[in-house]
């Protein structure tokens, strides 16, 4: 045995210590070098008695120095591992995982976005207007005289400020858009509207989409073709529509649009009350008086307009029987869409 051998042992140890990755590796290293039974150091110590007398002392001393060095290095490494472990957050890996719920787009917003996509693909732009409106845009410019029932305090939420109200319809966006833009006009205006109404199919706040097309030579056939095309795209079905004569102050002639029942395809069911038809919205040709309010020449231009309820359409599409579900935010309802 000579010094050279001890240096080699030290170098091997240092290399192996560097490679050690885990506590288990360290235990193995400890056993290999300073283990009581078969450790390299123990084996060296056992060899001392067989050495010549004069070498025993120095050799023994050097082995002890190496042994102390190895012990120190190994315990330092154990300490480092302990430090690392205590800086990690405590985790119980046996706990069952938590479910992650993903958020969803509200069914009314989904249908609103679908409606927007369909009309945008047909070349329409999307217009908006204020939810707090004035009586001029909500009524007067829409040819709704002061004694008209829809102006009644029963239907309308008036604000304390004179001439201001919560808009009862999206139709004022027609007026605001025509004030700003000359024909050709081709727009839809989705948004919230407010009325003093409250039952299973009416809520004080609900959503409408207004449609307006103004250009030369616009006819009622354009209106009917547009709505038919729209409903076929929305319901992804070969539905039919029919017009029933009606009255709105801002259209002449006016019509209610009926859609062949998307549940029973017209043969009669509970949803369409056995009529085979579903009422889906009002429409008509823009009344020349409205054009006069916004300064568009009714001799040159004509237009059609329509209004539909997003809530009503969503209820029909998904078979929902109470409008209140949309506002309750019950997760059991919302997660179905």
Q: Which residues bind ligand DAH (CB under 6 A)?
A: 169, 171, 210, 248, 251, 282-284, 305-307
How is 166-218 classified by DSSP, letter by letter? E-SSSTHHHHHHHHH-PSSEEEEEEEEEE-S--BTTB-SEEEEEEEEEEETT-
Structure tokens at 183: 């024909």
Shortest CB 99 distance to ligand DAH, Å:
42
Structure tokens at 129: 């207007």
Q: Which is nearer to ligand DAH, 70 or 307 (CB)?
A: 307
Q: Which is nearer to ligand DAH, 248 or 293 (CB)?
A: 248
Q: Would you tell me how many other CB atoms lie within 10 Å of the CB of residue 300?
A: 11
Structure tokens at 33: 């070098």
Shortest CB 331 distance to ligand DAH, Å:
31
Shortest CB 285 distance to ligand DAH, Å:
8
Q: Which is nearer to ligand DAH, 59 or 248 (CB)?
A: 248
Helix (H, G, I), strand (E, B) or coil at 243: strand
Long-range contacts of 260-266 (CB under 8 A, 24+ apart): 262/235, 262/237, 262/316, 262/317, 263/316, 263/319, 266/240
Q: Which is nearer to ligand DAH, 306 or 325 (CB)?
A: 306
Shortest CB 314 distance to ligand DAH, Å:
17
Shortest CB 103 distance to ligand DAH, Å:
31
User: Which residues are 281's β-sheet partners?
Assistant: 257, 308
Q: Which is nearer to ligand DAH, 74 or 290 (CB)?
A: 290
């Amino acid at each position: 045995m000579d010094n050279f051998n001890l240096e080699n042992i030290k170098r091997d140890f240092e290399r192996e210590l560097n490679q050690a990755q885990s506590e288990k590796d360290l235990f193995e290293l400890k056993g290999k070098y300073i283990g009581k039974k078969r450790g390299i150091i123990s084996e060296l110590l056992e060899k001392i008695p067989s050495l010549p007398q004069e070498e025993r002392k120095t050799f023994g001393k050097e082995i002890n120095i190496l042994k102390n060095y190895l012990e120190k290095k190994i315990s330092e490494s154990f300490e480092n591992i302990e430090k690392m472990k205590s800086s990690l957050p405590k985790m119980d890996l046996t706990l069952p995982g938590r479910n992650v719920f993903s958020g969803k787009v509200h069914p009314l917003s989904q249908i609103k976005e679908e409606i927007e996509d369909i009309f945008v693909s047909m070349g329409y732009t999307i217009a908006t207007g204020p939810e707090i409106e004035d009586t001029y845009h909500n009524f007067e410019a829409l040819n709704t005289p002061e004694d008209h029932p829809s102006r009644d305090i029963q239907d309308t939420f008036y604000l304390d400020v004179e001439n201001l109200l919560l808009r009862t319809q999206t139709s004022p966006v027609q007026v605001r858009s025509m004030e700003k833009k000359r024909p050709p006009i081709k727009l839809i205006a989705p948004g919230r509207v407010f009325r003093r109404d409250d039952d299973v199919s009416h809520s004080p706040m609900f959503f409408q989409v207004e449609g307006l097309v103004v250009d030369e030579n616009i006819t009622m056939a354009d209106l009917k073709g547009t709505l038919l095309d729209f409903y076929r795209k929305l319901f992804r079905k070969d539905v039919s529509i029919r017009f029933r004569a009606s009255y709105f102050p801002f259209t002449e002639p006016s019509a209610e649009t009926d859609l062949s029942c998307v549940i029973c395809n017209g043969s009669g069911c509970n949803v369409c009350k056995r009529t085979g038809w579903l009422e889906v919205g009002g429409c008509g040709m823009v009344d020349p008086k409205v054009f006069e309010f916004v300064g568009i020449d009714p001799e040159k231009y004509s237009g059609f307009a329509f209004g539909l309820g997003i809530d009503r359409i969503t209820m029909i599409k998904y078979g929902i029987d109470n409008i209140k579900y949309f506002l309750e935010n019950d997760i059991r309802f919302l997660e179905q869409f």
